Amino acid sequence: MRIFDPHIHLTSRTTDDYEALRAAGVCAAVEPAFWLGQPRTSVGSFVDYFDTLLGWEPFRAAQFGIRHHCALALNPKEANDPRCAGVLDLLPRYLAKDGVVAVGEIGYDTMTPEEDKALAVQLELALAHGLPALVHTPHRDKLAGTRRTLAAVRESGIPPERVLLDHLNESTVREVAPTGCWMGLSVYPHTKLDPERTVRLLAETGTDRVLINSAADWGRSDPLTTARTARAMLDAGFPEERVEQVFWHNPVAFYGASGRLDLSEPPPVAAEEGDRYLGSSLVRGG
Ligand SMILES: [Zn+2]
Q: What is the pLDDT of residues 220-254, one digit of tens each?
A: 999 999 999 999 999 999 999 999 999 999 999 99
Domains recognised in the chain with CATH numbers = 3-263 (3.20.20.140)
User: Which residue, among 140, 85, 143, has the nearest Cα to 114 in the 3D structure?
Assistant: 85
Question: If pLDDT is split at 50, 70 and 90, which confidence band does 270 have?
Answer: low
Query: What's the start-to-end Cα distance of the chain, in Å?
Result: 34
The partner residues of 104 in beta bridges, in order of sequence, read 134
Look at residue 39 and tell me whether its pLDDT is greater than 90.
Answer: yes
CA 105 to ligand 1 center in whole angstroms: 7
**C-alpha 285 – ligand 1 centre gap (Å):** 31
CA 137 / ligand 1 centre spacing (Å): 10
For residues 209-228, give the mean pLDDT. Answer: 97
Which residues make up the environment of ion ligand 1, defined by Cβ < 5 Å?
34, 215
Q: Number of H helices and number of E strands within the chain?
A: 11, 8
Distance 214 CA to ligand 1 centre (A): 9
pTM of the model: 0.95
